[in-house]
Amino acid sequence: MLEHYAKACNLLGLAGSGQLTKMVNQICVAGLVQALSEGVAFANNAGLDAKKVFETISQGAASSWQMIHRHQTMIDDEFDHGFAVDWMRKDLDICLQEAARNGTPLPVTSQVNDFYRELQAMGGGRWDTSALLRRLTRDE
């Protein structure tokens, strides 16, 4: 039944391993979205055509699901879709608690979690996680 809903269905270990795998996913996504936000801001501030930049680099090593599916909405300042900042904060708090328990330093994840906290303070709890860009452009 799961094959109809998922691209991959793997047994990852004992009970709880799926939750830990979800934590790994969120850690990776948080870092990717922050890097993508910085790239969009840099392209705009450098006077580049950000759409062309991301159409080009999404074909190479920098490509990710986030880049392919979110660069245009980020460029257009559209964040009323997707996975909400509030949900990511909840997930990253769980990740950071588990990392403290198992002794894994997560400096980037911790920093990005703080950035999401800033978005919440800006009223962006329901914005898509790609709204990290708004932190970088809020003074414009």
Write out the catalytic residue numbers: 22
Sign of CA dihedral 48, 52, 56, 62: positive
Tokens of 53: 């930049």
Is the Cβ–Cβ distance between 30 and 43 less than 8 Å? no
Is the Cβ–Cβ distance between 23 and 92 less than 8 Å? no
DSSP state of 2: G
Tokens of 27: 């850690």
